[in-house]
Copies of this chain bind each other. A is one copy, B any other.
Amino acid sequence: MYEKKDKKPANSNAELTSLSDLGEFGLIDRLTRNVKYYHPETLKGIGDDAAVIDAGEKVILLSTDLLVEGIHFDLTYMPFKHLGYKAAVVNISDIAAMNGVPKQMTVSLAVSSRFSAEALDELYAGFIMACDKYKVDLVGGDTSSNVKGLMISVSIIGEAKKEEVVYRSGARTGDLLCVTGDLGSAYIGLLILEREKSVFQVDPSMQPELSGFDYQVGRQLKPEARTDIRNLLLGIGVKPTAMIDISDGLASEILHICKQSGVGCKLFEGKIPMDEHTRELAKEYKIIPSVAALSGGEDYELLFTVKQDDYEKIKEIAEISIIGHMIPSSEGKQMITPDGKSIPITAQGWDGMKAR
């Protein structure tokens, strides 16, 4: 049996630390401070989009993500099939963020008795659709009842050659900061869905008014993972120096790269790629458009840095925007507004430890 802890009982409320005070990343830092690694094959443990395990000829990438009803998704407007698809994509995106190829996935579900087998059929149809699109083998999982609600835990294995893997920690001063696709639409899509939900709650006879918002709603309900970027960059002979996927919002992800690479950055607000309609909608919602990109999250685009020498190769690629560059850590993490002001980048991204 374990040794007894000191006198203080674990359920005494004296001086206990609430989880929301720590936030997700603070909690992870705290819980994992005593973790040791025993195996030299563990090339990277906690602290990147995936763990990296040496398997001889290649490396194995391992990542896992939880989706909890009432925290990460709302079944009022999230169809089961989309939910399964999204739960798979979120994990596939982590492998893309390591510059790897997704290969195998496990899916675990905890479900309360309010769900029918038919609902779970739909959920699985979404998983299987994503697995088909991204060529991932669904190799196992666990299924349990739950006291309340639906909880989905997905783990994914990817692979890459050792020299292909891109970590969060490789950005250097002078590197260009790049992002794929456009940002902020998933967040605006969420706002639209939340608005229609409120309308529906007041008057259940109302039909949701989603026409004209297909792009934003689609980005929220059925995101895609940028597994295409690996080959695109391979094709032009560019290897990112650091990479992360944008799940929590651009600001938060930039700060992760800065922290783990030990550099600062200069981000140009005017260069952040956004859909024009999304910009307009943001204004309707009284949100500065760039804030939807900086703090919104769930776009699952890739944020990465490349050497300055790669500028000519990168600048022609329509799918990639250069949005800034890395500077010495002592110069901070700055966003330069179109009128030339410098403001510090702070993370206000989505924090899984704080309920929405």
Contact = CB atoms under 8 A, between A and B. Distances in A.
Interface in A320-341: none
A286 to B, nearest CB: 27
A103 B39 contact: yes
B155 A64 contact: yes
Interface in A143-162: 143-149, 151, 153, 155, 157
Interface string A1-36: 110010000110000111111101001101110111
A318 interface: no
Contact of A45 (B10, B116, B139): B139
A145 B39 contact: no
Contacts of A35: 128, 131, 137-138
Given A17-B117, A139-B53, A110 B151 contact: yes
A277 interface: no
Interface stretch (A186-194, A237-245, A347-355): A347-355
Given A22-B117, A31-B120, A55-B58, A50 B132 contact: no
Interface residues of A, number: 100
A263 interface: no
B140 A62 contact: yes
B121 A30 contact: yes
A144 B37 contact: no
Interface stretch (A79-87, A176-184, A287-295, A300-308): A79-87
A222 interface: yes
Contacts of A108: 64-66, 153
A268 to B, nearest CB: 32
A276 interface: no
Nearest to A26: B117
Contact of A16 (B116, B139, B141): B116
Interface in A58-106: 58, 60, 62-66, 68-72, 79-82, 85, 103-104, 106
Contacts of A27: 117, 120, 143
28 contacts: A1-B222, A2-B81, A10-B80, A10-B118, A11-B119, A18-B113, A18-B117, A19-B113, A20-B113, A20-B145, A21-B117, A36-B128, A36-B131, A37-B139, A45-B104, A45-B137, A53-B103, A53-B157, A55-B56, A56-B58, A64-B141, A64-B142, A66-B109, A66-B153, A70-B147, A146-B151, A147-B148, A151-B151
9 nearest CB pairs, A to B:
A51-B139, A153-B153, A16-B116, A17-B117, A155-B155, A55-B55, A56-B57, A45-B139, A70-B147
Interface of A: 1-2, 5, 10-11, 16-22, 24, 27-28, 30-32, 34-39, 41-42, 44-46, 50-51, 53, 55-58, 60, 62-66, 68-72, 79-82, 85, 103-104, 106, 108-111, 113, 115-122, 124-126, 128-129, 131-132, 135-149, 151, 153, 155, 157, 218, 222, 352-355
